[in-house]
Amino acid sequence: MKKFKEAWEINQNWQLIFPFIGLCSLGYSAFKLTSLLPFSELYTTIPISIGVFYMLLKLVLFSISKLESKWIVDMRWELIRIFIVFAITGSSSVIVGRPIIQWMGITQGNLHPVLYWILFIIISLFFYQVLLVFIGWIFGQFQFFWTFEKKMIRRFGLGRFLKD
């Protein structure tokens, strides 16, 4: 445990919650991905889930090592916290966007499916921008996500609306 704490620059025990949440979320994602496969027997799902978990863990660790030099954070464990915020925000924007599009009366039945999905993505993307800063603030990473958000707004060509 001491080596793990040193590797992730964890100074206080409460900071261990973020690697724990990350591993639990990764395990759940691996199980859900495996459940999409055509077989449903538990004795085959669990070993394949473990393999998918291992591959996802390697992908996340690779991503963290690549982004570590690009993203400026005080401690290495904060990168896990940032990844958790991105995961929560992505899921939340879809969860918020779905009732909004239904409230507007837009369904796949009354609109061409391609147009429906384009509208759904646009609406979800709007809520993603708002939720990213808000959830980042809840997780104590407001400054990182506000800077990230300003870059994204500039890339969308809306930089003239920002004051620096």
Q: Residue 94: its pLDDT value, please?
A: 87
Global pTM reads 0.79
**Which residue from 119, 129, 123, 127 is spatially nearest to 158, judged by alpha carbons?**
129
Q: Tell me 156's DSSP state.
A: T
**Residue pLDDT, tens place only, 119-157:** 888 888 888 989 999 999 999 889 899 888 888 888 877
Residue pLDDT, tens place only, 32-90? 889 888 877 777 888 899 999 999 999 999 998 888 888 888 888 888 999 999 999 98
User: For the segment 99-122, what is each residue's pLDDT rounded down to a tens digit?
Assistant: 888 888 888 788 888 888 898 888
**Alpha carbon distance 145, 164 (integer Å):** 15
Neighbours of 146 (CB within 10 A): 14
**Which pairs from 65-74 meet CB under 8 Å and 24+ separation?**
71/144, 72/144, 73/144
